[in-house]
Structure 1
Amino acid sequence: MEEAASRARFLDGPQFMIPPPQEGNGQAVRMLRSHYRRPRRRRVRNGLVIEAYGTLLIKEPRMSERTPISLLSREFPHVGGHVCGHVCGRVCGRVCGQVRGQVRGHVGTWLRAVCGLVSLMAMVVVVGACDQSAGNGGAAAANRASPTADEAKATGAKSAEPAVGAQAAAPASAGGSSATSEDGSVDGPPPIELDPPLLDFGILPPSVAKEGTVRLVNKGNKELEVLTVQPSCKCTTIDDISGKKIPVGGSIELRATMKSQSAPGKKSADIKILIDGYSQVIPLQLKQEVSLPVRVSPSYLNVVKGQPTTGRIVIESIDKQPFTVCAIGGKKPNLIGFDSAKDAPRNQYLLDWDFDRDFAPGEAKRYWLMETDRADCPLVDIFVRHESTVVLPRGISPTEYRHTFGRLEQGGTYDFVLDLTKIGADEKIVAAASASSAAKVELISAVLEGEVMHVALRVVPNPDTLGLTWIPFTVYSSTGRQADQAVWGQYVPKGLTGCYGR
Structure 2
Amino acid sequence: MMECQNNSTRGVIQAVILLVASLGTGCSDQGDPGSTTTATTTAPATQPPAQAGSKGPDLAFPSGPGTANYTTEGPIKAEPPAINAGLVEPGSTVKGDFKLLNTSGQPVTVLAARPSCTCTTLELDGKTIPARSSINVPVEMKVSSATGTKQAAVNIVFKGLNQIVQITLTAQVAYKIKGTPTPYIDAVAPENVTGTFGLQSIDGRPFNVVSVMGQKPVFVGFNPGSDAPRNNYTLRYDLRSYPCNAMPMYAIIETDHPECRILDMRIRHECTRFKPQLSLGQFVANAGVIPVGGRGEFMMEIKNLGNAGVSGVSTSTPEVAVRLVDQVSDGTNVQCTVEVVPRQGVSGVLYFPVTFHAAGRSAPVQVYCLVE
Alignment partner of 1:440 is 2:302: no
Between the aligned partners of 2:273 and 2:347, the Cα distance in structure 1 is 27
Deviation (angstroms), 1:258: 0.6
Deviation (angstroms), 1:343: 5.1
Aligned to 2:135: 252
Structure whose CA Rg is larger: 1
Alignment partner of 1:489 is 2:372: no
Aligned to 2:352: 471
Out of 163, 167, 177, which is 1:294 matched to?
177
* TM-score where L is the length of structure 1: 0.46
Equivalent residues in 2 for 1:424-463, closer than 5 Å: 429=312, 432-435=314-317, 439-442=318-321, 456-460=339-343, 463=345
SS in structure 1 opposite 2:149?
Answer: strand
Out of 196, 207, 215, which is 2:91 matched to?
207
Deviations 1:308-329 (A, max 9, x none): 87675552143x4322234433
Deviation (angstroms), 1:214: 0.6
Aligned to 1:72: none
Deviation (angstroms), 1:447: 6.5
Distance 1:188 1:201, change over 3 A: closer
SS in structure 2 opposite 1:378?
Answer: strand
What is the total number of aligned residue pairs between the two structures?
294
SS in structure 2 opposite 1:388?
Answer: helix
Alignment partner of 1:231 is 2:115: yes
SS in structure 2 opposite 1:272?
Answer: strand
Deviation (angstroms), 1:407: 4.8
Out of 243, 251, 255, which is 1:368 matched to?
251
SS in structure 2 opposite 1:434?
Answer: coil
Between the aligned partners of 1:186 and 1:448, the Cα distance in structure 2 is 31
Alignment partner of 1:381 is 2:264: yes
Out of 205, 210, 235, which is 1:321 matched to?
205
Deviation (angstroms), 1:199: 1.3
What letter matches 2:368 in structure 1? W
Alignment partner of 1:272 is 2:155: yes
What letter matches 1:441 in structure 2? V
Between the aligned partners of 1:447 and 1:467, the Cα distance in structure 2 is 27
What letter matches 1:459 in structure 2? P
What letter matches 2:320 in structure 1? V
Deviations 1:225-278 (A, max 9, x none): 345433223321222155623422x22112211110221222112223446777
Between the aligned partners of 2:299 and 2:168, the Cα distance in structure 1 is 30
Between the aligned partners of 1:204 and 1:286, the Cα distance in structure 2 is 12
Distance 1:374 1:256, change over 3 A: same
Out of 369-378 and 225-234, give the one that drifted further.
Answer: 225-234
Between the aligned partners of 2:94 and 2:234, the Cα distance in structure 1 is 32
Distance 1:223 1:345, change over 3 A: farther
Distance 1:321 1:415, change over 3 A: closer
SS in structure 1 opposite 2:271?
Answer: helix
Q: Is the 8 A contact 2:118 2:328 kept in 1?
A: no
Deviation (angstroms), 1:455: 5.6
Q: Is the 8 A contact 2:91 2:142 kept in 1?
A: yes
Listed as ranges, the gaps of 5+ residues in structure 2 are 1-65
What letter matches 1:484 in structure 2? P
Listed as ranges, the gaps of 5+ residues in structure 1 are 1-181, 493-502
Q: Is the 8 A contact 1:432 1:441 kept in 2?
A: no
Deviation (angstroms), 1:281: 3.6
Distance 1:230 1:308, change over 3 A: farther
Between the aligned partners of 2:76 and 2:306, the Cα distance in structure 1 is 42
Q: Is the 8 A contact 1:274 1:281 kept in 2?
A: yes
What letter matches 2:352 in structure 1? I
Deviations 1:411-465 (A, max 9, x none): 6454546768659979965x84534xxx43335676776685766453216x4x6
Distance 1:349 1:482, change over 3 A: same
Alignment partner of 1:284 is 2:164: no
SS in structure 2 opposite 1:373?
Answer: strand
Out of 70, 74, 79, which is 1:190 matched to?
74
SS in structure 2 opposite 1:254?
Answer: strand
Deviation (angstroms), 1:288: 0.9
Between the aligned partners of 2:142 and 2:328, the Cα distance in structure 1 is 18
Which structure is higher in strand share?
A: 2
* TM-score where L is the length of structure 2: 0.59
Between the aligned partners of 1:234 and 1:427, the Cα distance in structure 2 is 14
Between the aligned partners of 2:263 and 2:152, the Cα distance in structure 1 is 26
| Superposition CA RMSD, Å | 4.6
What letter matches 2:80 in structure 1? P
Deviations 1:373-402 (A, max 9, x none): 2244221222334443345545x6666543
Deviations 1:45-90 (A, max 9, x none): xxxxxxxxxxxxxxxxxxxxxxxxxxxxxxxxxxxxxxxxxxxxxx
What letter matches 1:263 in structure 2? A
